[in-house]
């Protein structure tokens, strides 16, 4: 019965090769992660998708706290006059802002923006909090919803409203702010690789691509299954751009009043999209065990006469495994085991535990890996030892597999013609020389839809200069950097 079910089921997910966007949408919907609503570009995150986000959030929140930051909560609204204080900032965000103009039956004196990001409102508050050098560093993070009125939306990747964290810090010196910016970049990298099994390239954004109002923007860039890059998180050195506009000054030990140096950094529900596109396959989602809402699903396999005995054993296993893994017993009576297999595969549960009458006789069970579809027969008395190890192995195998895919799809090209061909056909990252001219970058974007994703960094976090003799892929002039190009989300 299983094969027939399986076929029917899988048909519902469009093959990646046929239409990657549709594959993505199918997976998000069939795995019950999220859906659109009647409000343009707004999604509802369903319980299974939200469970995934909760695990992502908690794993990152722990790291944010361990590096000395505290959470706080700032208002949803940004008065128009505050948003306009930093010129680049408002220019960057104005086209996307949702405006509150009325409350009850009254028109407001000043329009209020729904925060598209919180620099303006937070800086206006920090200007009161920061008085002395003793108040520094100020290391605060916020988990919140933000709204950007996007023209084209895609579940998780670009939605009108999304959830994120935004860190906002103030420092005494320029050096400290730069150190913080890079520290959080590396926290993001370690987090993405360890928890999401998502290999990323950390790097510096170009002037064209940096955050409106930042001095420097650093990014972590992932490579998705269709060869397009995903900006998975950013960390900004804001310099004194905002502190001067919002008057955030402190009295230093030398009795001088000085403007603080600031950073901000964020990741969002977009990461869920990144996880889907880094790991998913034709059968649906594949979730890294560390963030999977369900790590092990127990599927009892029985007929009418063996039902009670098998279910009893399955319940026993569920109870035994609860302390060591996030486990769920699928005891539904109205669908077949085959249906269940496909259902949980589509939902990306890392391990399926099958138990039937013959297994019980042999005092064993079957563990099926979602990522490799490999099956293992495991004696029940070894389960408590085997399972945690298996989850660890799956996690590291997934990272390695994704890293290999990324490396296999990172290319150097002979010339601009090849560059264009690769971007049109294979996509992936192209590592190529760039003269450093923003206009050249713009032209490449217009002609190939590829942008500079980042300038790679050395171990000391400095942009790596182009090796001697490298030329710009577009102008043929000496290259300043070898940079990662890609089409992106």
**Site residues (vs its own copies, CB under 8 A):** 37-39, 42-47, 49-51, 53-54, 70-77, 79, 82, 94-105, 111-112, 114, 121, 124-125, 134, 140, 144-145, 147, 149, 161, 163, 334
Shortest distance in whole angstroms from residue 7 CB to its own copies:
23
Our CB check for its own copies shows the closer of 147 and 473 to be 147
- Are 268 and 359 within 8 A, CB to CB? no
Provide the 10 A C-beta neighbour count for residue 335.
Answer: 12
Nearer to its own copies, 12 or 415 (CB): 12
Dist. CA 5–CA 342, nearest whole Å:
8
Closest distance to its own copies from the beta carbon of 102 (Å): 4
Of the two residues 46 and 63, which places its CB atom closer to its own copies in the complex? 46
Q: Which of 134, 402, 156, 435 is nearest to 271 (CA)?
A: 156
In contact, 198 and 280? CB cutoff 8 Å: no
Residue number with CB closer to its own copies (247 or 397)? 247
- Backbone phi, psi, residue 95, to 5°: -65, -15
Residue (38 or 425) nearer to its own copies, CB:
38
Output the smallest distance, CB 138 to its own copies, in A. Answer: 9
What's the token pair of residue 266? 């964020």
Q: How many whole angstroms separate alpha carbon 474 and alpha carbon 482?
A: 12
Q: Which is nearer to its own copies, 141 or 189 (CB)?
A: 141
Q: Could you tell me the smallest distance in angstroms from the CB atom of residue 424 to its own copies? A: 32
Q: How far is CA 481 from the centre of its chain?
A: 27
SS (HEC) of 229-258: EEEEEEEEEEECHHHHHHCCEEECCCCCEE
Kindly tell me which of 101 and 425 has the beta carbon lying closer to its own copies: 101
- Rounded least distance, CB 194 to its own copies, Å: 23
State whether the Cα torsion 84-86-89-91 is positive or negative: positive
Cis peptide before 118 (omega within 30 of 0): no
Min dist CB 338 to its own copies, Å, is 18
**Spatial distance between the Cα atoms of 376 and 253, rounded to a whole number of angstroms:** 65
Q: How far is the CB of 256 from its own copies (least distance, A)?
A: 19
Provide the minimum distance between the beta carbon of 105 and its own copies in the complex, in angstroms, as a whole number. 7
Q: Token digits for 245?
A: 């506009």
Q: State the DSSP H helix or E strand holding residue 55, giving kind and residue range, or none if neither.
A: helix 47-66
Please say which residue, 87 or 376, places its beta carbon nearer to its own copies: 87
> Minimum CB separation from its own copies for residue 13, in Å?
20
Per DSSP (E only), the strands in 187-295 are 201-204, 216-223, 229-239, 249-251, 257-259, 261-268
Dihedral Cα 205, 207, 208, 214, nearest 10 deg: 80
| 3-class DSSP state of 348 | coil
CA distances, 16 to each of 7, 20, 25, 310, 373 (Å): 16, 5, 11, 38, 18
**189 close to 200: Cβ distance less than 8 angstroms:** yes
Q: Nearest approach, Cβ of 423 to its own copies (angstroms)? A: 30
Nearer CB in complex with its own copies: 42/464: 42
The residue among 344 and 474 lying less far from its own copies, judged by its C-beta, is 344
């Amino acid at each position: 019965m299983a094969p027939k079910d399986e076929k029917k089921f899988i048909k519902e997910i469009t093959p990646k090769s046929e239409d990657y966007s549709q594959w993505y949408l199918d997976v998000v919907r069939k795995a019950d992660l999220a859906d659109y609503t009647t409000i343009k570009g707004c999604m509802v995150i369903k319980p299974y998708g939200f469970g995934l986000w909760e695990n992502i959030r908690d794993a990152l929140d722990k790291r944010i706290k361990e590096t000395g930051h505290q959470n706080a909560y700032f208002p949803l609204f940004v008065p128009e006059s505050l948003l306009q204080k930093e010129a680049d900032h408002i220019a960057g965000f104005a086209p996307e802002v949702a405006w509150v103009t009325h409350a009850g039956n009254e028109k407001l004196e000043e329009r209020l923006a729904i925060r598209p990001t919180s620099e303006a409102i937070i800086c206006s508050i920090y200007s009161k909090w920061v008085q002395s050098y003793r108040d520094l560093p100020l290391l605060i993070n916020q988990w919140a919803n933000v709204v950007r009125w996007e023209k084209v939306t895609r579940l998780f990747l670009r939605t009108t409203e999304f959830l994120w964290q935004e860190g906002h810090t103030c420092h005494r010196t320029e050096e400290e702010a730069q150190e913080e910016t890079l520290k959080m970049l590396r926290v993001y990298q370690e987090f993405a690789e360890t928890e999401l099994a998502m290999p990323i390239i950390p790097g510096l954004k170009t002037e064209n691509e940096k955050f409106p109002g930042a001095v420097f923007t650093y990014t972590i860039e992932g490579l998705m299954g269709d060869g397009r890059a995903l900006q998975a998180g950013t960390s900004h050195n804001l310099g004194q751009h905002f502190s001067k506009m919002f008057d955030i000054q402190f009295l230093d030990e030398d009795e001088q009043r000085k403007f603080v140096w600031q950073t901000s950094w964020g990741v969002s529900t977009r990461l869920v999209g990144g996880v889907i596109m880094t790991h998913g396959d034709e059968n649906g989602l594949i979730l890294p065990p560390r963030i999977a809402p369900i790590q092990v699903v127990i599927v009892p396999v029985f007929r009418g006469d063996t039902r009670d005995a098998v279910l009893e054993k399955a319940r026993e296993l569920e109870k035994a495994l609860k302390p060591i893994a996030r486990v769920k017993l699928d005891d539904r009576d109205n669908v077949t085991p085959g249906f269940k297999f496909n259902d949980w595969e589509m939902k990306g549960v890392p391990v399926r535990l099958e138990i039937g009458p013959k297994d019980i006789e042999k005092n064993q069970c079957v563990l099926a890996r979602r990522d490799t579809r490999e099956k293992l027969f495991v004696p029940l008395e070894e389960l408590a030892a085997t399972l945690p190890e298996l989850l660890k192995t799956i996690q590291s195998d997934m990272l390695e597999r994704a890293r290999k895919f990324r490396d296999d799809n990172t290319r150097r090209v002979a010339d601009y013609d090849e560059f264009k061909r690769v971007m049109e056909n294979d996509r992936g990252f192209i590592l190529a020389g760039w003269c450093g001219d923003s206009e050249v970058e713009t032209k490449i974007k217009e002609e190939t839809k590829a942008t500079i994703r980042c300038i790679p960094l050395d171990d000391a976090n400095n942009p790596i200069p182009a090796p001697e003799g490298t030329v710009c892929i577009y102008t043929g002039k000496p290259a300043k950097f070898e940079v990662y190009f890609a089409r992106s989300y």
